[in-house]
Chain A
């Protein structure tokens, strides 16, 4: 209000001046005066309305936006507002009451916290938040610390195909030719690149780690191979012209379908019903058509031939059979054979001779002898029997075929044993499936054979192999055993485990290998040496030593020995024997050893004092009892290491010159001395390890790429945060977290927005 007051004060002298002027001119003209007065008054009003507060000096009370800031300095009391509240008719009584209660209250609010305290609280909260945020890295960091090898930079360019844009991104057209080409391409809107990978694929590649990707790739490859294999198989099958084969296949299909149908009845009756309906439909169609009724041109021609030709007769029979099958009524769905009633009408349509008993009696098909009219009265069971019998006959044929195939396959296998053996169990499974597979195999082999024929070298090689190869089956098993063993051996070698070989050997000897169903012969050989050793233990070392030692030929020693050389050698040895005739080295050695053993043993301490407790003097010996009592036997020394090694002396004294090179204290990361020893014992060099093992063992801990900048870890390296699925009591907290996360995301997305937020804070 103060500002407003000022304005009025400024205005008031002006007004007075105007009015006084008008009074001076009173005498001249009344009306004109009056008009002027009115004008003055009106103008006064106008001016007053138009008058704006101008900002002439710095002050808080003047608003920036040329709005009169009247009343800014004044305090608004609650009572003022409440007064208006009372007068307003719209306000509900309830709120009025509440306000009155508030007014009457005498309690004061607590003082807000001091600035220092609020800041401290703010800091604490912020610190907790940031330390929690930082803790997300803990898993990654510990992982890196434990890692055997770290490869920097952390984010390597992903292997695999790159999209053209990525390759081209850093490249610019430099030479005029390139520029021209590019301008042409651009002007014609030609696609400069065709994307190798769709964005979805790329995302998936990014999402996968290398190993995962490898596994996936392997799976894909397998699937692709399988697919192509099946496609090829299908193609081959389609090409097969053999009618017999197709017939067999069809039959197998029908059989399979029946089986399936049986199962369906148990599991899914509705589906079975539908199938039944389908069958019914096909039956109806069959009944309508003349397709299998031996009324066509072919059938007629066959009918002429049938009297003399068995094959034709059979073919016609089959046709009829088909018709019968198709027109059989399906009354009881639970029966697997849906033939109950025969149609006599159809049989009537047949020529008579077809139904005549055949000259060659088929014992398997007894019904063939009977007439169709008789069949009409036959019960279901026989029908079923005939059906099965028929099938059996067919199966016999199939089996023949199979046997043939089998024989052929074996022959092939003998020839080229590099083929993958077909699993034998399949034979006992579905006949049809087996058929298909075997045929395909056969064809495979044929193709291969062709290839063999084409390449002379291969055939030569094959012949060689044939001549050298052992019968396939035993060889295979042998190979398997060898593989098993090999694995074991490899494991022993490659394991950077501590007690590599010895432990395994011990394991073998102590436990009969539980996993191996067929004990490998080589295993036995490995377990043999210790037994021999045990036997040796019983032998007197002297005997062994005095015997002439066997000359052991080392595998690396030159093994080509000429006879002349032998003679020379014999001479030499004779000379040497003569020269050292007097020396008995071996007995010397034995004496030496015995001496050392004695020195190692603690002596008996005799503490008997003659004369104590009994008479003493010359010629008197302390009593036996006493002597026994006071002779102290030292505890037996620990067993010598060379106890069972007759030709070795192992000194167990500490050697100071060696001690210089020995570790006196157990180094830090090791828990006990055996750990450390085993670590040292295991060689890492190329001399003792295969190339791959060597490479693995000597892999450096940190690998950097030459000339590559190693960027600090970034948030992309962080594993994705698992959302805590809190329910019930934790709901609100989770919500809060979610909100926080969202805000974080928003911050990351939009830094500008973040700044705004900060400024608001």
Chain B
């Protein structure tokens, strides 16, 4: 008996073009696919393994500064331009795509404490230890001309930080007080103080653009409204916060990096308890910056690592370190959500991928589909022990590892002790304090 069937031989039927992929006829009937879960599980395992294999986040290192890098700023309108200020008062403008320095300015005597780009990207501001605020043109001066600031404001005290308004010609500096400046005036249009000696950081809220927050050296974080004459509220924490960053997609959330190795995300409407405590660093956290999508943030620490945290998770999803990277002073997340920049003590700016295993450059649609599928599989099987084990494994330098273990032990000991104290005292006399509640001393109105 001869049976005629539909032809399945790819040589026998005609493709539209020779570059067309071979057509694979499929029957999706689930009854003839009994092992779909196990097959997908294997694929997920492989995907996880590949992801770890391809995880090479380090992209480039920009060297040229002659002292530790103290501050970084993104260009507001161009992705490839980054500004950096060093501890010797030098400001460099970098081209990231070429990985070279485009311009060097001796901006200040002493540290460049803060740097920020104007919202339109036409100029940038620096503050330094020489008590000046300087405005510079983003365009280099003509050939043979000297680098001159567009504007210089001499203040009474050292400025330690600066940030520019999102849409208007005003900026904020901090030092002894938090000052709001109009770009056209040489004296601040408003200055806030609330009984503290010095501030370390001031940041505008990028969404509700009239709000500000600052970190003060008396362990407090203070909120301001630019339109009001007085500050809004103050939280005092157990240790000093170094910097803070507002979430660019969530108007009321901000995260601060603290000296107690943790980061805290606050909702500005409920300041008495942080929304999340992010722990993983083993030394003081020096800087934090949100991804432009508002889903994650990156933190730089004195422990020579950078960590990436999902905004609502207590632990990091990624840790970046290299042998040569020393204390990381400043960190920025690029505006296209693809890269992370870190400036560290040993005079280098490093460029990292935000997603360690991401393939850079253009992807073909099939590549994209495959990557998406792999990601989906990893998500689907993330709770399975083998997948999790592979996905979560990271290498840490030995001393860091030891430090981490030590910290864990200390924490465990403290917890045990608290438990014992509670056990041996009158019930109710030693209240149970959650981790979140521990770190806020008080909220001052």
Contact = CB atoms under 8 A, between A and B. Distances in A.
B75 to A, nearest CB: 9
A733 to B, nearest CB: 21
Of all A-B residue pairs in the complex, the 5 with the closest CB atoms, nearest first, are A712-B248, A710-B292, A712-B206, A667-B383, A137-B251
B232 A126 contact: yes
Interface in B179-234: 182, 189-190, 206-208, 211, 223, 225, 227-233
Contacts of A695: 369
Nearest to B33: A688
Given A127-B232, A706-B336, A712-B206, A683 B1 contact: no
A663 B250 contact: no
A705 B206 CA distance: 21
Interface stretch (A42-50, A230-238, A753-761): A753-761
Contacts of B27: 555-556
Given A131-B268, A684-B377, A687-B39, A126 B228 contact: yes
Nearest to A747: B227
B10 to A, nearest CB: 15
B122 interface: no
Nearest to A138: B252
B242 to A, nearest CB: 22
B280 interface: no
Contacts of A686: 373
A404 B277 CA distance: 84
6 contacts: A123-B233, A500-B30, A680-B380, A683-B37, A709-B77, A710-B335
B283 to A, nearest CB: 30
B380 to A, nearest CB: 7
A161 interface: no
Majority SS at the chain B contact face: loop
Interface in A617-668: 660-664, 667
A493 B43 CA distance: 21
A501 B293 contact: no
Given A663-B383, A758-B227, A761-B229, 12 more contacts: A123-B233, A134-B268, A554-B32, A560-B3, A560-B5, A680-B380, A687-B33, A687-B39, A700-B375, A704-B338, A712-B166, A713-B294
Interface in B222-261: 223, 225, 227-233, 248-252
A698 interface: yes
Interface string A529-549: 000000000000000000000
Interface size bracket, A side: 35 or more
A694 B28 CA distance: 12
Interface string A676-705: 100111011111111000110111101011
B144 interface: no
Contacts of B30: 500-501, 688
A123 B230 contact: yes
Interface string A721-761: 00000000000000000000000000100010011001001
A660 B190 CA distance: 64
A179 interface: no
A714 interface: yes
Interface in B1-42: 1-3, 5, 26-28, 30, 32-33, 36-37, 39-41
A186 interface: no
A135 interface: yes
Interface in A308-334: none
Given A559-B3, A698-B373, A751-B168, A137 B252 contact: yes
Contacts of A134: 208, 211, 251-252, 268-269
A657 B62 CA distance: 49
Contacts of A684: 40, 373, 376-377, 380
B190 A758 contact: yes
A706 B79 CA distance: 11
A127 B231 CA distance: 8
Contacts of A120: 445
Contact of A122 (B230, B362, B385): B230
B372 interface: yes
A363 interface: no
A50 B207 CA distance: 62
A663 B385 contact: yes
Nearest to A127: B232
A124 interface: yes
Contacts of B375: 698, 700
Given A123-B445, A130-B232, A712-B249, A683 B40 contact: yes
B386 interface: yes
Contact of A704 (B33, B228, B231, B336): B336
Contacts, number: 174
A752 to B, nearest CB: 10
B384 interface: yes
Interface in B151-195: 166, 168, 182, 189-190
A119 interface: yes
A561 interface: yes
A713 B206 CA distance: 8
A709 B294 CA distance: 13
B360 to A, nearest CB: 10
A130 B225 contact: yes
Nearest to B252: A134
A551 interface: no
B58 interface: no
B371 to A, nearest CB: 8
B380 A679 contact: yes
A605 interface: no
B99 to A, nearest CB: 17
Nearest to A123: B230
A144 interface: yes
B76 to A, nearest CB: 8
Contacts of B385: 660-664
Given A134-B208, A712-B249, A707 B383 contact: no
A124 to B, nearest CB: 5
Contacts of A203: none
B232 A123 contact: yes
Nearest to A669: B383
A693 B140 CA distance: 53
B248 A559 contact: no
A150 interface: yes
A493 B231 CA distance: 58
Contacts of A704: 293, 336-338
A694 B251 CA distance: 35
A380 B178 CA distance: 102
A152 interface: yes
Interface in A271-290: none
Given A126-B225, A152-B292, A661 B36 contact: no
B317 interface: no
Interface string A552-589: 00111001110100000000000000000000000000
Contact of B445 (A127, A555, A681): A127
A157 interface: no
A80 interface: no
Contacts of A152: 292-293, 337
Contact of A119 (B225, B230, B250, B369): B230
A664 B293 CA distance: 34
Contacts of B436: none
Nearest to B377: A684
B295 interface: yes
B36 to A, nearest CB: 4
A755 B189 contact: yes
Nearest to A562: B2
A687 B377 CA distance: 13
Contacts of B376: 684, 697-698
Contacts of B372: 698-700
Nearest to B374: A698
B293 A135 contact: no
A133 interface: yes
Contact of A709 (B2, B28, B335): B335
Contacts of B208: 130, 133-134, 137
Interface in B294-349: 294-295, 335-338
